[in-house]
Amino acid sequence: MSAANKEVRAELNNKIQEYLEYADSLSTSNDIRSLVTLEKYDVLQKILMKRLTFGTAGLRGQMGPGYAAMNDLVIIQTSQGLAAYLEEIVDENEKDRGVVISFDNRYNSQRFAQLSAVSFLLKGFKVYIFSSITPTPFVPFAVKKLNCLVGVMVTASHNPKDDNGYKVYWSNGAQILSPHDKNIQESILKNLKPWTNALDTSLVAVSPRAYDPLTDIEQMYYDSLKIYCCLDRISPLGFSSLKITFTAMHGVSHSYMKKAFQKLNFENYVPVKEQMYPDPDFPTVKFPNPEEKNCLDLSIATADAAGSRLILANDPDADRLAVAEKLSNGKWHVYTGNEVGALLGSWLWKILDVDAKKNPANCCMVSSAVSSKILRSISEVEGFTFYETLTGFKWMANKAFDCMNQGMTFVFAFEEAIGYMCGSEVLDKDGIRAAMQMTQMAACAYSENKLLFDFLRESYLKYGYHVSCNSYFICHDPDAITSMFNRLRNFNGVKNEYPKFLDGDSPFPVIGVRDLTTGFDSLQADQKAILPCSSSTHMITFYFENGCEATIRTSGTEPKVKYYTEMIAKVPEEEWENVKTLLHKMVDLMIIHWIQPEKNGFLPRPM
């Protein structure tokens, strides 16, 4: 064995002993011992020498042993780091403001939540820990209503069943931003050894500092749904002609959606029975993500059998919403996230308080850089203020918070990945709140003998036709992903040279490039991007002469290379199909010449 290999093995042996010390009495210590016995040093190297890094989305990863996975020890270390960081930056009396913690129905979620609570209790913080599974939006809602210091939600959202996550909200009710993420990560590394009694989850039941907020928060949440309720403007005929099929996708939302419908006095709904009860195995779907193909098959079958023409589908933690509608030709249309964003943006502006609309510039909507620019187009006609942010609700929610602090009226934010923030009560995406708005919108449409599809068409006629084509490739090799992006940044072997056109029968000229990894933006006078940049992720946007915008980026939570494209055209309706055809042609060429999945070993999106 070479000296270098001996050094690596010595470092690994130290990590093994450290983990076994810290994880003493935990089941994952037995897993590590078994790997040592089997001499699986390559596996041990992978799971012990790197650890899940706390970022602006918290933690998310596969459950298993080691530092690079979600398990009891990593949860304890993360919670100790967060609790210690809070203790450093707040006064002692502020500990009474407390933290709020909840969890979804995945394997280990409740235990992870309880272990998290113990860390805060040991530091003297008041802890509000939910006694039962809740939707993720309940945590940011509770942070604001209870004036808490932070919120923690244990969930992996729509990820595969073997994953779990740890999502953190700051005192403003929005997900954390830098520098808190970096400071928390540093604090975690200073608090790796479990504190005395760190495993004593009985403290959750017996500590006088632990409270269950479920009843109060649930009541406040449902009461808040009425804030943007507009039933007085909808004919009773709309509700009587509307039947909705809804699914919880084996997650938390079934009982919560039923109560939300009751708040609207809407009773004509049909659940997808095979998916209505929480089940951490998500047995009827390959991926518990309503965006994925075939995830709505059971919903469509249920709707057809019940004579329902509208489907509302939550993801497992109920922060996202998919929508499908049976059209006049009898075919089902599954709305994209951008289409639902267009519908909700138009609708929420329509029903906004008249007094607020007297000063439209003081009202705002927000969307992310990879989402449709439909809100921008609406703002150009209606006069409200539009903001674009980086990808993720951590950016959009904090932008909304800043706007409200300036006295503005925040109306709506969305991201193409079926996430919608309707109003300011929850500063994060909320699939239940969005579902209630879609219910009211559909009732309004049906009362006029129209469909949601007609409302979308009317939006395009007024604000311009917006068509998008988004998808992704799977890649577990970070080096291959980096190589692809480096090739785009040094095209044809020329350093810092981006593609000047997209090859085809008639090449499509590129008139601008924005690279939020390097901070380059050719459309700015100083060639510096306005949006925040990060060298830890890849994201390049190309602006074409014909108006097309295309972004290629990596995912922050999944092993994916994603692409987002959109064409905006103010042309007669009869030309819309030609615009759509042109966009799809450009996407095909972009995949062939720029992404090159076969050459880079990328796997196609599962069908």
Residue labelled with tokens 């049976």: 326
3-class secondary-structure state, position 466: strand
Give the three-state DSSP class for 332.
strand
Q: What secondary structure letter does DSSP report for 194? A: P
Q: Which of 240, 237, 229 is nearest to 440 (CA)?
A: 229
Sign (positive or negative) of CA dihedral 54, 55, 58, 64: negative
Report the alpha-carbon distance of residue 145 to residue 158 in Å, rounded: 26
Question: Using the 8-state DSSP alphabet, how is residue 54 labeled?
Answer: P
Catalytic residue among 29, 102, 116, 157: 157
101 three-class SS: strand
Give the Cα separation of 113 and 134 in Å (integer): 12
CA–CA separation, 356 and 409 (whole Å): 7
Q: How far apart are CA 544 and CA 333, in angstroms?
A: 29
Q: Which amino acid is at 571?
A: V
- What are the phi and psi torsion angles at 258 (to 5°)? -60, -45
Distance CA 364, CA 384 (A): 6
CA-angle at 184, arms to 179 and 190, nearest 5°:
135
Alpha helices (H) in 155-252, listed in sequence order: 180-189, 203-206, 214-224, 236-240
Whether 224 is a known active-site residue: answer no
- 553 burial type by CB count under 10 A (0-12 exposed, 13-18 middle, 19+ buried): buried
Question: For residues 280 and 167, what is the distance between their CA atoms, to the nearest angstrom?
Answer: 18
CA distance 455 to 578: 21
Q: How far apart are CA 101 and CA 166, in angstroms?
A: 10
CA-nearest of 387, 368, 392 to 376 is: 387
Q: Encoding tokens for residue 555? A: 């995912």
| Cα Rg of the chain (Å, integer) | 25
Give the residue numbers marked as catalytic: 157
